């Protein structure tokens, strides 16, 4: 017992201070894409051609980057010799609407807090059932990390539960393969209303690199209604946590 107490004293406090404190992210962290069209070379389409998921397109002559498709792989930033496309260290990537994930010249619209009635229900106690709908396990791993002492998602009243009948909503990862479609539909149906659906990762939002495959359904919102989109491949645990706290209106005083 004394050895255990000594070890705890030696280890110190391990839980991150987020959201009160600014998160400490690695130097190579890949966050919110930044488009600077004034740097675009005339007639250049290098960034579009380099993107493996067609996340970058031009609409009426203007660049558009769909974060729901983006793998944050840096192929576009390496292909662009003028720096018109770059990845910032901004971890805030979540959106309430699918269309809001498409970056243009307009400011990025972050996820909004739930309506007052939903906040009264879920604001201090949110139970979620995770559904891996054909994912590679990367997004699933970062969701699992949220339950560790470092992030301690339970301190916000958010917990992952084993049964959808005990849940307030579901967290979907993966492109929703044909084999997992029925499982997702049944899980969603088993969650008592009102309920939330959160799509985590490029696959769950758009199908990711599997978009258009005959055995994939190109994301969760082709099967169930989605309330929160958290892009990334995979999204960092802080990005996921930020999105969850944002819809619960729990980010007061956050940097």
- Could you tell me the residue ranges of all domains in the chain? 116-247
Q: How far is CA 170 from CA 99, 132, 145, 156, 164, in A?
A: 21, 10, 17, 17, 8
Which residue ranges in the chain fall short of pLDDT 70? 13, 253-255
Question: How far does Cα 167 stand from its chain's mean position?
Answer: 20
What is the spatial distance between Cα 40 and Cα 34, in angstroms, rounded to a whole number?
Answer: 13
Residue 203 token pair: 């696959």
For 116-247, CATH number out of 3.40.50.800, 3.40.50.360, 3.30.230.10, 3.40.50.12280 equals 3.40.50.12280
What is the spatial distance between Cα 141 and Cα 228, in angstroms, rounded to a whole number?
Answer: 19
Predicted pLDDT at 42: 77
Predicted pLDDT at 253: 59
| Percent residues over pLDDT 70 in the chain | 97
C-alpha distance across the termini of the chain, in Å: 39
């Amino acid at each position: 017992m004394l050895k255990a107490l000594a070890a705890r004293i030696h280890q110190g406090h391990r839980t991150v201070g987020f959201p009160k404190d600014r998160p400490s992210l690695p130097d190579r962290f890949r966050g919110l894409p930044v488009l600077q069209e004034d740097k675009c070379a005339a007639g250049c389409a290098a960034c579009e051609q380099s993107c493996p998921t067609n996340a970058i397109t031009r609409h009426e002559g203007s660049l558009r980057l769909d974060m729901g498709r983006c793998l944050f792989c840096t192929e576009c930033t390496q292909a662009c010799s003028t720096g018109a496309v770059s990845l910032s260290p901004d971890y805030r990537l979540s959106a309430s609407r699918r269309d809001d994930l498409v970056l243009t010249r307009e400011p990025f619209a972050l996820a909004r807090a739930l309506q007052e009635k939903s906040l009264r229900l879920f604001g201090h106690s949110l139970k979620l059932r995770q559904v891996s709908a054909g994912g590679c396990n990367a997004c699933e791993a970062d969701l699992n990390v949220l339950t560790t002492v470092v992030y301690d998602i339970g301190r916000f009243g958010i917990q992952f539960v084993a049964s959808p009948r005990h849940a307030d909503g579901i967290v979907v990862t993966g492109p929703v393969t044909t084999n997992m479609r029925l499982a997702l539909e049944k899980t969603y149906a088993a969650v008592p209303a009102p309920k939330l659906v959160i799509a985590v990762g490029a696959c769950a939002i758009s199908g990711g690199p599997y978009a258009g495959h005959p055995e994939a359904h190109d994301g969760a919102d082709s099967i169930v209604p989605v309330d929160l989109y958290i892009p990334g491949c995979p999204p960092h645990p802080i990005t996921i946590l930020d999105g969850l706290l944002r819809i619960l209106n729990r980010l007061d005083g956050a940097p």
